Amino acid sequence: MFRHVLCVFPYRRTCSSRTSFPPLGLEYIAGALRPHAQRIELVNFRQERVPSTQPFLRPETDLVCYSINWRQELGYIRDDINALPPGVMTILGGRIATEDPRYWLEACPNVDAVVCGDGEQAIVEIAQGRAWSEIAGLVRRGDDGQLVHNPPRANAPLDDDLFPARDLRRRPYYLTSKGASTGVKIDLVSGSRGCPFNCKFCNFAINPWGVKRSWTPRSAESVVREIQQIDADLIFFVDDVFTHQPDRVAEICDLLMAKKIRKHYVVNARVELAKRPDVIRKMEQAGFLALLIGVESTQDATLKAMGKGFTIGQLRQWFSVLSRSSMLTSAYFIVGNIGETEEQMLSTAAFARSIGADLIMVSRLRSEPYSGLAELVEQSPGYHVDDRGFVYSDAYSTKQIASLRKRIDRRFFTPLHVAGIVIKLLRSVNGRVLAKGAMTIPIFLAQLIAMQAGRKAHKRKRIPSSQCQ
């Protein structure tokens, strides 16, 4: 039994206008540790005036868990870890830590282990005193000081009774922009993990060993039970594909309506949802506000090479259904796709308008480990990958591609179009939420949805909770 556990999200506050989301994966770790600790504290540096672990340490602190998921501020995080007092067990998790455990174990002598993959069961086994040699997914030092990589942890069914430890939040999370708050609380929910699709630009459902995380859902009852316990008015589902099983989506909607839960939801969806207008109607009735949909290209050849599984003709047909919904549709596109010309890339704005997309987010093509894109680039003469993973070509430099991205945005987001988005949101947001933020909420929502789409499109969405230890 640990006496005092400190769970740390070590990223500091910035001047960014983006809303800060809860560190959901770290909260899952804290939830899993409840039976094994006398006291648990969770600290998000983005909400603290003094972003350092030191003020939160206690004489009885015997476990510190860090969630390292982003590439920013790694030197600062390293120094914070190295400032911990000796004798405190220190465990790291998160995608960035697990992509290079050697770096962290060598740069931080006081780190005991890095947990790779789903972390809840591993941290429980550590707390239970299980021999570290028997804990799957652990990278640690052996008796001779050399690094030992334990076998990967197999994907397990999700625990319907394990919820994030939201009660450990020191402050609530609000919908904000440029430092101003609407007064509308926001939250995240993970209804499933993994992805059943195999798009070649995406490695989001692939663990650090290149093994795909199969799609694993929680039960509809568990998802709704969690939502009942959340006091936020706006909830973002972090699922890679929330709509993969439309009948399950309908079941969630039925339960939300039966329990008279009046909240709003933003989800990642596949365009094939249009085949189920009955489910779309239920989502509207249950409070779903926006669908974030991966389109990626305006060219059939590119969609086929990516393995998207649909054609431009099908996109037009299905968006003709989705665009009539009261839910916003936000379409992801990628600029710099292999083989596309400047004219084809610039056609994105007009194409998105023609299919009725409310929002677009255009990102640059990026090669991620195990996505399969690197092999495609190697087979394409004149194409290259820069040191940040972005794809460019002899015909279109990195700078030119970035410029094209901005030109597409300017063509799409005209003042008249933005006004239409605001009007649509005004018609969809319930009165209770609208009253809290008055007329500013539609604008903030539009900004937030666009940002959420950008985070997904840039690296195929946010890090799923399975990687957010």
**Full DSSP string of 364-375:** E-B--TTSSHHH
Handedness of CA 356, 360, 363, 367 (dihedral sign): negative
* pLDDT at position 431: 66
Secondary structure of residue 327 in the 3-state scheme: coil
Structure-token pair, residue 333: 């596109």
What are the per-10-residue average pLDDT scores of the chain (469 residues)?
Answer: 97 65 96 97 92 94 95 92 95 89 95 92 96 94 90 87 96 78 88 81 59 85 98 94 97 98 95 97 96 95 89 97 95 93 96 96 82 81 88 93 93 88 82 59 53 42 36
Closest residue by Cα to residue 278 from 240, 244, 249, 255: 249
Q: Count of H helices and E strands in the chain?
A: 17, 18
Secondary structure of residue 36 in the 3-state scheme: helix
CB 92 within 8 A of CB 114: yes
Handedness of CA 364, 367, 369, 373 (dihedral sign): positive
Is 338 exposed, middle or buried, given 0-12, 13-18 or 19+ CB atoms closer than 10 A? buried
Q: Per DSSP, which regions of 313-437 are E strands? A: 328-335, 359-364, 383-385, 391-393
328-335 and 288-296 strand pairing: parallel
| 6/53 Cα distance (integer angstroms) | 9
Angle made by CA atoms 407, 413, 417, in degrees to the nearest 5: 150
| 44/163 Cα distance (integer angstroms) | 18
CB 281 within 8 A of CB 311: no
Cα-only R_g, the chain: 22
Closest residue by Cα to residue 225 from 267, 191, 174, 269: 191
DSSP element (H, E) containing 114: strand 113-115
CATH topology (fold) of 172-467? TIM Barrel (3.20.20)
Q: What does the DSSP 8-state code read for residue 147? A: E
Which one of 3.20.19.10, 3.90.1170.50, 3.40.50.280, 3.50.50.60 gives the CATH number of domain 4-149? 3.40.50.280
Buried b or exposed e, range 400-435, using 16+ CB within 10 angstroms: ebeebbebbeebbbeeeeeeebeebbeebbeeebbe
> How much of the chain is in helix, strand and coil states, percent to nearest 5?
40, 20, 40
CB 469 within 8 A of CB 26: yes
pLDDT digits (tens, 9 = 90+) for 319-371: 999 999 999 999 999 999 999 999 999 999 999 999 999 999 999 988 776 66
| 431/192 Cα distance (integer angstroms) | 30
* pLDDT at position 469: 40
Structure-token pair, residue 352: 């998105």
What letter represents residue 357's amino acid?
Answer: A
Cα→Cα distances 9→12, 44, 65, Å: 9, 5, 9
Cα→Cα distances 304→275, 287, 337, 381, 459, Å: 21, 34, 12, 19, 20
Q: What is the pTM of this model?
A: 0.88
Q: Where are the domains of the chain?
A: 4-149, 172-467
Is 292 exposed, middle or buried, given 0-12, 13-18 or 19+ CB atoms closer than 10 A? buried
Structure-token pair, residue 10: 């070590």
